[in-house]
Amino acid sequence: MKLKGKNILFISASFFAYEKEICKKLSEKGAIVDFFDERPSNSYIAKGIIRVNRRIYQKNIDRYYRNILKKINNKKYDYFLLIKGESIPIFFLQKLREHNLVKKSIFYAYDSLDEYPQTFKILHYFEEKFTFDHIDSQKYNLKFRPLFFIPTYQEDNISVAPVKFDLSFIGTAHSDRYLVGERIKNVAKVNHISTYFYYYAMGKFAFKLRKIFDKNMKNFDGEKVNFQKLSHHQIKEIYNQSKAILDINKPLQRGLTIRTFEVLAMKKKLITTNFNIKNYPFYHPNNVLIIDREDVMLPKDFFERDLVEINSQDFYMMSLDSWIECIFINDQKKYWNIKL
């Protein structure tokens, strides 16, 4: 493997422990990884301040990155991988370049760039730039590479379990997700489709703030929100007991969520509000139902149709192994060529 013995500086926002899975996989491939969280703190207050007005928290951010520079000062890296780039300061990127600490810098975005304008200030510090959003890739001249599933969700790692739910949803409480979710739940009830819903919020204070400032959250029933984050093992177990999994993307999000790939890797049916999925190589109407978030329809026959086996190439291309291969080694432009 071409990553064996390579030194990698990896900085990423914390996103449900996926950054840990990336570190683990890189290490398995023989890379020597120095990982740092992109944020000085992952408390809901710190995250909120960074997102709303980063200047308030800038001294903490700068101090944090100066300490990182001290820790890596005597090292040389073959690669620097940054995922998200919401809070990383410009001076840090300049220092990496001035001191020739990195041979190749790589950026990856798992959110639409327009949501995070800070990103545009740092892109020119990277030789390779990737996004999960095919529209952003064309609009901003970035390479397109969707997200992935981690090994936890591979069928080989899952025991057979009796089906308890026709439809399950697990997701963070944000945007119009609750409104859409409840709409879907009501349609499911009328059609005698059993459901399991788990809305997650980071903390009670953050949830209350969202209810005040986000009109979509005002009617969120506080009894239906959970403040306990589920582990990948817990999520997998719920999915394993379900016929189909619901994915509700953000209203303006075009790229596919990571849940999309996990569900298909588990050989479960996917119900999604993201109509863009029909343009992906692995899409099949037997496996994926696309629904209108405003006009929900859940045809009973979708749950009864047999799954169509995903071929070995498509399955590999959706994996974390393939994601790493694309980011560090081989271009996958031909495969991920999506026709709009």
Give per-residue pLDDT as tens, 194-219.
999 998 877 666 666 666 666 666 67
Q: Which residues pair with 7 in a beta bridge?
A: 32
CATH class of 7-148+320-328: alpha beta
pLDDT tens readout for residues 224-265: 777 788 999 999 999 999 999 999 998 888 999 999 999 999
Closest by alpha carbon to 80, among 97, 62, 61, 60? 97
> How far is residue 220's CA from residue 222's CA, in Å, rounded to a whole number?
6
pLDDT tens readout for residues 52-87: 556 666 888 899 999 999 999 889 999 999 999 988
Rounded to a whole number of angstroms, the distance between the first and last alpha carbons of the chain is: 35
Q: Report whether 65 contacts 90 (CB < 8 A).
A: no
> Is residue 253 classed as helix, strand or coil in its secondary structure?
coil
Output helix, strand, coil percentages for the chain, rounded to the nearest 5.
Answer: 40, 20, 40
| CATH code 3.30.870 for 152-317 | no
Domains 7-148+320-328 and 152-317 share a fold: yes
Residues 6+ apart with CB under 8 A from 165: 194, 195, 196, 238, 241, 242, 243
DSSP string, 207-246: HHHHHHH-GGGTT--GGGEE-SPPPHHHHHHHHHTEEEEE
Closest by alpha carbon to 257, among 240, 237, 235? 235
Domain extents in the chain = 7-148+320-328, 152-317
Q: Report whether 132 contacts 256 (CB < 8 A).
A: yes
What's the predicted TM-score (pTM) here? 0.90
